[in-house]
C-alpha cells in the first residue's frame, strides 16, 4: 500500500471521456450529477469545458439553487401557517363549547398563504340574550390573525355596549379605518332573544346566515338586509338590521365564505348546496350537524383553499 508524505492533498487526474462516451449524445441529456461532476473535474484538472457543457452546468447549478430556495420558502410558510393557526385558535372563544345547543368549527385552509382571516364569536349578554357573530378578514397569515383578533374584540365590546347589531357593526366600521389591513372585512352580527323567540341581524358584506325552521324542512335565508363590507361606506353611514321570528327547535347557521365558495363556481350554487345539506342533516344535534355540513362540502383537489368558520345554534 503506497503512502503520500508530501503534506499536500493528492491530485487525482480523472478522465471523463469514457463517461461521456458511455452516454452518447448532447451534454444536456446527461444526468445533473454527471454534468456537475464533469464540470468539477474539468476545473480541477485544468481542462476546458465545451460551450454546451458550460451552459448545462450553469443551468443545473441555478436549478439547484432555486430548488434549495423553494424548499426554504416551503418550510418558512409551513412554520408561519402553524404559528398563525395556533394564534387564531388561542384567540377564538371557548364560551360556545360550554353550551350543548351550540357547535363551533374552524377549519384552516391547506395553503399557508390562505389561512387565518376568519373568526366567530359568541356572547351571553344576559338571561335569554345570545349574540353570535362571524367575520372574515381579507388578508392571510400572521397579519390576518392579528387583525382578526382586534376586530373580534372590538365587535364584542360594541355588542356589549349597544346590544344592537347594526350599531355594533357601525362602531366596528369606525374602528376598522384605524387598523391597517382591516378594510373590506366582512361580518355578520346576530342577536337571539330566547324570550320573544326572535333573531335580529345585520350584515356587512357577509354571506347570509341560514335558519332551519322547527319543521326541519324549511330553510330561511337571512338576506333581508345587506350592507357593504367595512371601509367601503363612510363610517357615519347608517347600517341596517332586520328581525324575524322562530319556533323553538329551529337551528341557526352562521359561516364564512369558505364553506360555499368554490373556484370557478357561482357562490349561489354553493349557497344552494349548503341549504340542501342543512335540510338533509337537520335532524342532527349541533355537534354532528356541524361535522356533516363540513363533510358534505364539494371535494377540492388539494383541500380547502380558504378558511372556514362555522357556528351552529339550536334554538
Q: Compute the average pLDDT of residues 79-89.
A: 58
Find the mean pLDDT for residues 258-279: 90
With 90 as the cut, is the pLDDT of residue 315 above it? yes
Domain boundaries, given as residue ranges, for the chain: 27-91, 93-314
pLDDT tens digits, residue range 147-156?
Answer: 888 898 899 9
Residue 94 has pLDDT above 50, yes or no: yes
pLDDT at position 273 is: 94
Q: What is the pLDDT of residue 53?
A: 60
pLDDT of residue 266: 85
What is d(CA 208, CA 165) in angstroms, rounded to the nearest whole number? 14
Q: What is the mean pLDDT of residues 124-133?
A: 93
Residue range 101-127: mean pLDDT, rounded? 78
Phi first, then psi: give them for residue 134, nearest 5 degrees: -140, 140
DSSP per-residue letters across the chain: -----SSSPPP-----HHHHHHS-S-GGGS-HHHHHHHHHHHHHHT----HHHHHHHHHHHHHHHHHHHHHHHHHHHHHHHHHHHHHHHHHS-SGGGG-TTEEEEEE--SSTTS-S-EEEEEEEEETTEEEEEEEE-SS-HHHHHHHHHHHHHHHHHHHHHH--HHHHHHHHHHHHTTSTT-TT-EEEEEEEETTTTEEEEEEEBPPPPEEE-TTSS-EEE--S--BPPTTTS-TTSPP--EEEE--TT-EEEEE-GGGT--TTS-HHHHHHHHHHHHHHSTTS-HHHHHHHHHHTSPP-TTS-SS-EEEEEEE-
Q: What is the pLDDT of residue 20?
A: 44
- pLDDT band at 71, cuts 50/70/90? low
With cut-offs at 50, 70 and 90, classify the pLDDT of residue 262.
confident
Confidence of residue 30 (pLDDT cuts 50, 70, 90): very low
89 has pLDDT over 80: no
Please give the Cα distance from 261 to 272 (Å, whole number).
11
For residue 188, which of 127, 239, 233, 144 has the smallest C-alpha distance? 239
Give me the chain's average pLDDT, please: 78
pLDDT tens, residue by residue, 200-232 = 999 999 999 999 999 999 999 999 999 999 988
Residue 165 is predicted with a pLDDT of 97
Q: Please tell me the predicted confidence (pLDDT) of residue 3.
A: 45
pLDDT at 247: 97
CATH class as words, domain 93-314: alpha beta
Cα–Cα distance measured from residue 296 to residue 277, given in angstroms and rounded to the nearest whole number = 7
pLDDT at 6: 46
Task: Read off the pTM.
Answer: 0.71
Which of 37-41, 100-104, 194-198, 213-217 is least confident?
37-41
pLDDT at 102: 92
Cβ(239)–Cβ(170) under 8 Å?
A: yes
Residue 62 has pLDDT above 70, yes or no: no
Does residue 92 surpass a pLDDT of 70? no
Residue 96's pLDDT band (cuts 50, 70, 90): low
Amino acid at each position: 500500500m503506497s503512502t503520500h508524505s508530501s503534506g499536500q492533498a493528492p491530485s487525482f487526474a480523472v478522465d471523463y471521456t469514457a463517461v461521456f462516451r458511455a452516454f452518447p449524445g448532447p451534454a444536456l441529456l446527461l444526468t445533473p450529477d454527471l454534468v456537475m461532476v464533469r464540470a468539477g473535474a474539468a476545473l480541477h484538472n485544468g481542462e476546458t469545458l465545451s460551450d454546451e457543457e458550460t451552459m448545462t452546468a450553469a443551468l443545473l447549478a441555478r436549478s439547484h439553487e432555486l430548488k434549495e430556495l423553494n424548499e426554504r420558502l416551503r418550510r418558512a410558510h409551513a412554520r408561519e401557517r402553524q404559528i398563525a393557526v395556533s394564534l387564531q385558535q388561542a384567540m377564538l372563544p371557548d364560551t360556545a363549547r360550554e353550551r350543548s345547543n351550540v357547535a363551533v368549527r374552524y377549519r384552516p385552509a391547506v395553503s399557508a398563504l390562505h389561512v387565518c382571516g376568519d373568526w366567530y364569536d359568541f356572547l351571553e349578554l344576559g338571561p335569554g340574550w345570545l349574540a353570535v357573530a362571524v367575520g372574515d378578514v381579507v388578508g392571510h397569515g400572521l397579519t390576518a390573525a392579528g387583525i382578526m383578533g382586534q376586530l373580534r374584540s372590538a365587535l364584542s365590546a360594541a355588542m356589549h355596549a349597544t346590544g344592537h347589531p347594526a350599531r355594533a357593526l357601525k362602531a366596528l366600521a369606525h374602528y376598522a379605518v384605524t387598523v391597517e389591513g382591516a378594510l373590506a372585512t366582512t361580518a355578520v352580527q346576530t342577536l337571539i332573544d330566547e324570550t320573544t323567540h326572535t333573531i335580529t341581524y345585520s350584515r356587512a358584506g357577509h354571506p347570509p346566515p341560514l335558519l332551519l325552521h322547527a319543521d326541519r324542512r324549511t330553510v330561511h335565508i337571512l338576506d333581508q338586509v345587506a350592507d357593504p363590507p367595512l371601509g367601503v361606506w363612510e363610517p357615519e353611514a347608517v347600517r341596517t338590521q332586520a328581525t324575524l321570528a322562530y319556533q323553538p327547535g329551529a337551528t341557526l347557521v352562521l359561516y364564512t365564505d369558505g364553506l360555499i365558495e368554490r373556484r370557478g363556481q357561482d357562490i349561489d350554487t354553493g349557497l344552494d348546496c349548503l341549504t340542501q345539506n342543512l335540510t338533509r342533516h337537520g335532524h342532527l344535534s349541533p355537534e354532528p350537524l356541524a361535522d356533516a355540513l363540513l363533510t358534505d362540502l364539494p371535494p377540492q383537489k388539494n383541500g380547502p383553499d380558504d378558511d372556514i368558520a362555522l357556528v351552529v345554534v339550536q334554538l
